[in-house]
Amino acid sequence: MYKFPGSVHSKLPKVGTTIFTVMSKLAVDQGAINLSQGFPDFPVSPHLVDLVYKHMREGRNQYPPMAGIPRLREVISAKQESLYSAQYDPETEVTITAGGTQAIFTAIQATIGEGDEVILFTPAYDCYAPAIELVGGKPVYVQLNSDDYSIDWRQVKKLISRHTKMIMLNTPHNPTGATLTSKDMKELIKITKGSDIIIMSDEVYEHIIFDGQEHQSVSRYKELAERSFVVYSFGKTFHVTGWKTGYVLAPSNLMAEFRKVHQFNVFTANAPIQYALAEYMINSDNYMSVAAEYQRKRDVFLSAVEGSRFKVKPSKGTYFQLLDYSTISDEADTELAKRLTIEHKIASIPVSVFYHNPVQNNVLRFCFAKEEETLLRAGEIISSI
Ligand code: GLN
């Protein structure tokens, strides 16, 4: 209806609408099974929902403290200690955020400036580079090895300069489902030793990891923990992506800078949900059971697509599975993802959009955070392609 009469200077001229929104909308418009954007289609724990309701009814509906309610920060700190032997002071080193994306954005705002370089591994989750560019920082891209999406540390070493301010990690990795190992962590310790490089570790899928692997949190390693922001998401762990609640851990001097921005960015996160989560997380089964649940779903999906013409390497973590279509089609993945949604009624995410350079690996990402019935129906369609 209206149009700004002046000239609009775009701060992100090359950025369009995120692929997750584009593909989910196409899936809805086409009545397709939506395995594109990552979100569960199964119900949330009724107990957790009851707890939110209880705290709302009991009147916990006003602003919580800026950094989050103390009880939740204490529970998080205890969890981090018991899982990774990492010590974070709930008072000064834990902050509750409006989801992982906000935590990442705020940490970058707080620490990166004009001309600072940030090393990113591609394919990279799509919120990283814009957050860096908005503060005048420069993303420096390192492509993950194309066979197993592992990191070539020699290349990282070559790209580190006196301008390198941050390295961004993501394990378990979205969109590929790869995981980092303790060997990777040791390389990272060597590479950053004696430097002022900050690590941003996106670990939102920490509890979605398969086949007996142990999640390699940077917080397990003192030399890394002391230079890292570590980001987590309740949405991923408790199947509540729409609640947009997460948290960040960092040493107190980094966290002090984070909070300076956080207080003016969102000020704080949703109160009743924080009270509910603090209570719900007392029972560690509520998060420790998640890996097995998702491994079952991954395996249902894998057997459902076993007879298909797609090539598969089982996902090691996250709720995403890549399927390689190189023996089926030579179309660009963006085209194929659209065509499969329209013609076959199955939506996925093309992986090429997460690269900086045009790379065509001929893979599509499918989300298996779905009811078994959805996965079986999806498997039938995929097997018919
Ligand atoms: N993390 C989700 C995914 O990878 C998407 C979140 C979003 O839509 N921004 O699919």
Q: Which residues line ligand 1 (CB under 6 A)?
A: 18, 20, 37-38, 174
- What is the per-residue pLDDT across 128-170, written as a single tens digit (0 to 9) for each? 999 999 999 999 999 999 999 999 999 999 999 999 999 999 9
Q: For residue 20, report the distance from its CA to the centre of ligand 1, in Å.
A: 6
> Ligand 1, closest atom to CA 367?
10
Protein residue closest via CA to atom 8 of ligand 1: 20
What confidence score (pLDDT) does residue 203 get? 99
- What number is the average pLDDT over the span 215-235? 98
What confidence score (pLDDT) does residue 204 get? 98
Burial class (CB in 10 A: 0-12, 13-18, 19+), 57: exposed
- What number is the average pLDDT over the span 45-72? 98
Q: For residue 349, report the distance from its CA to the centre of ligand 1, in Å.
A: 10
The Cα 178–Cα 313 span in angstroms is 10
pLDDT above 70 as % of the chain: 100
Protein residue closest via CA to atom 2 of ligand 1: 38
- What number is the average pLDDT over the span 180-184? 98
Is the model's pLDDT at 67 over the cut of 90?
A: yes
The Cα 179–Cα 96 span in angstroms is 25
What confidence score (pLDDT) does residue 113 get? 98
Domains with residue ranges and CATH for the chain: 19-44+288-384 (3.90.1150.10), 61-286 (3.40.640.10)
- What number is the average pLDDT over the span 92-110? 98
> Residue for token digits 């199955």?
346
**Mutation pick for ligand 1 pocket among 39, 127, 351 (CB with most ligand atoms within 8 Å):** 39
Average pLDDT, the chain: 97
- Residue 41's nearest CA partner among 289, 174, 205, 239 is 239
- What is the per-residue pLDDT across 368-382, written as a single tens digit (0 to 9) for each? 999 999 999 999 999
Is the model's pLDDT at 358 over the cut of 90?
A: no
What confidence score (pLDDT) does residue 302 get? 98
Q: For residue 355, report the distance from its CA to the centre of ligand 1, in Å.
A: 16
3-state secondary structure 359-379: CCCCEEEEECCCCHHHHHHHH
